[in-house]
């Protein structure tokens, strides 16, 4: 027969699990809708000029910088800004996606499927593990800086298979970020849902781009 302390612990734990499920559902819903806005932006911007695409990236970056302050002021404002980020990044990626569609549409479908499986498996691990992975933050930041520097080097120095190496390294870095962000989701409150959704959306988007680069044989980026 369970003791009084066992029953009390169960009564306290149940709302926590319910809250955790609610936050998870909110975050995944926001990620899904942001991906839809991104797809819409890609369709709208498929014929955009390079300058227009670059401008869309700049504005999206500005929106990301203001997302934390907007979310602190109003969760609805934060969600609206998140969807705007998805739309603008989609516009910026539109011409790149159109290039792959014109060259080989199968690459886009393969990349989308591989992204779903990749993020799904690593995200499930990050969310299921009981370890607190917050200590990974600094290492991931430096890994991201290293990845960016390597990408810049490949623009000016011809490295055999450089684009493929860059794609594989990118998948390693953002695979780790995916685990990290889903692990954060375990302990997140509803007030953090928009910010974590933004992080996971960026993980998904970057993984998709590196999958495109990999399946496309190191083509345009």
Model pLDDT for residues 1-15, shown as the tens digit of each residue = 444 334 334 333 444
Residue 129 is predicted with a pLDDT of 92
Contact 165, 159 (CB under 8 A): yes
Q: Which residues contact 71 (CB under 8 A, 6 or more apart)?
A: 77, 78, 81, 191, 194, 195
The whole-number average pLDDT for the span 172-179 is 97
HSE-CB for 69 with a 13 A CA cutoff: 5
CA 19 from chain center: how many Å?
A: 23
Query: How many Cα atoms are found within 13 Å in the side-chain-facing hemisphere of 48?
Result: 24
Mean pLDDT of the chain: 87
Alpha-carbon span 138 to 147, nearest angstrom? 14
User: Which among 124, 115, 134, 130 is positioned nearest to 180, based on CA atoms?
Assistant: 134
What is the per-residue pLDDT across 83-92, written as a single tens digit (0 to 9) for each? 999 999 999 9
In 3D space, the residue among 140, 129, 138, 139 whose CA is nearest the CA of residue 187 turns out to be: 129
Q: Which pLDDT score is estimated for 49?
A: 85
What's the pLDDT score for residue 163? 87
Environment class of residue 33 by beta-carbon count within 10 Å: exposed (0-12), middle (13-18) or buried (19+)? Answer: middle
When pLDDT is cut at 50, 70 and 90, the band that residue 183 belongs to is: very high
Tokens read off for 7: 């029953």
The answer to whether residue 124 scores a pLDDT higher than 70 is yes
Retrieve residue 158's tokens: 């011809």
pLDDT of residue 160: 84
**Gap between the Cα atoms of 180 and 135, Å rounded:** 9
Q: Tokens 């080097």, residue?
A: 153
Q: Which residues contact 7 (CB under 8 A, 6 or more apart)?
A: none
- The two structure tokens encoding residue 106: 């199968």
Nearest to 175 by CA among 119, 116, 103, 108: 119
Range of lowest pLDDT (49-53, 64-68, 191-195, 214-218): 214-218
What are 12-71's pLDDT values in tens digits? Answer: 344 444 588 899 999 999 999 999 999 999 999 988 888 888 999 999 999 999 999 988
Query: How far apart, in whole angstroms, are the C-alpha atoms of residue 207 and residue 115?
Result: 6
Indicate if the pLDDT at residue 180 is higher than 80. yes
* pLDDT, tens only, 127-142: 999 899 989 999 999 9
Give the per-residue pLDDT at 218: 57
* Whole-structure pTM value: 0.87
Task: For 110-120, write each residue's pLDDT tens digit.
Answer: 999 999 999 99
Gap between the terminal Cα atoms of the chain: 64
| Cα separation, 44 vs 129, whole angstroms | 40
pLDDT tens by residue, 148-165 = 999 888 888 888 888 899
- Write out the two tokens for 48: 């955009």
């Amino acid at each position: 027969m369970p003791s009084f302390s066992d029953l009390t612990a169960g009564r306290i734990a149940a709302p926590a699990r319910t809250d955790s499920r609610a936050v998870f559902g909110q975050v995944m819903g926001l990620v899904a809708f942001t991906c839809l806005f991104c797809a819409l932006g890609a369709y709208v911007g498929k014929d955009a000029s390079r300058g227009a695409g670059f401008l869309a990236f700049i504005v999206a970056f500005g929106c990301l910088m203001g997302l934390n302050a907007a979310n602190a002021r109003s969760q609805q404002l934060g969600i609206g800004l998140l969807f705007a980020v998805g739309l603008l990044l989609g516009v910026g990626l539109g011409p790149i996606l159109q290039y792959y569609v014109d060259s080989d549409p199968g690459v886009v479908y393969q990349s989308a499927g591989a992204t779903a499986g990749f993020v799904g498996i690593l995200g499930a691990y990050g969310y299921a593990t009981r370890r607190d992975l917050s200590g990974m933050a600094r290492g991931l930041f430096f890994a991201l800086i290293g990845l960016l520097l390597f990408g810049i080097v490949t623009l000016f120095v011809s490295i055999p298979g450089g684009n493929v190496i860059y794609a594989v390294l990118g998948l390693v870095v953002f695979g780790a970020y995916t685990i990290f962000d889903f692990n954060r989701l375990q302990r997140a409150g509803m007030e953090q849902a928009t910010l974590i959704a933004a992080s996971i959306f960026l993980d998904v988007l970057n993984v998709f781009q590196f999958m495109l680069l990999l399946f496309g044989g190191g083509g345009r980026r």
